[in-house]
A = this chain, B = another copy of it.
Amino acid sequence: MGTTLFVCTTCKAGQPVPEGSTPPGAQLHAALTAETAPEGVRIVGVECLSACNTGCAVSLTKPGAWSYVYGRLTLDDVPAILEGAGKYADSPDGIVPWRDRPTVFRKQSIARIPPLPPLEEAAE
């Protein structure tokens, strides 16, 4: 199954957002979807990744793999986000070798979550 790149569309990136204007998160989502997504990657907007102190935020996830959350992203990071998403999609377990990760993914990881362990492993 494929990779999903979730993009928080409500992120305010620590700035006041005047009523009626587009939040930075929605701008980032629009900029990402305006580009061609890497093969095997779906880009999905989502309201609030609960990373409000570290927005704009995105998350990469796929079944059976580690999931990642990245933060403090701007429109300048769009090419790097797409590059990193493509490499994530190509990896078997979501773990891209450190040297191959875009700088923004090396430096702006907020958290990662392991794949669900098989029951017997969890019982150890």
Contacts and interface: CB of A to CB of B under 8 A. Distances in A.
24 contacts: A6-B113, A6-B114, A42-B122, A44-B121, A46-B114, A48-B112, A49-B112, A49-B113, A50-B68, A50-B109, A50-B111, A51-B109, A51-B111, A57-B111, A59-B111, A63-B116, A67-B67, A67-B113, A69-B69, A69-B110, A69-B113, A71-B111, A110-B111, A111-B111
A71 B111 CA distance: 10
A123 interface: yes
Nearest to A62: B116
Nearest to A114: B46
A61 interface: yes
A115 to B, nearest CB: 9
B50 A112 contact: yes
A18 interface: no
A96 to B, nearest CB: 12
A2 to B, nearest CB: 8
Contacts of A67: 67, 113
Instruction: Identify the interface centre among A4, A44, A110, A113: most chain B CB within 10 Å of its CB.
Output: A113
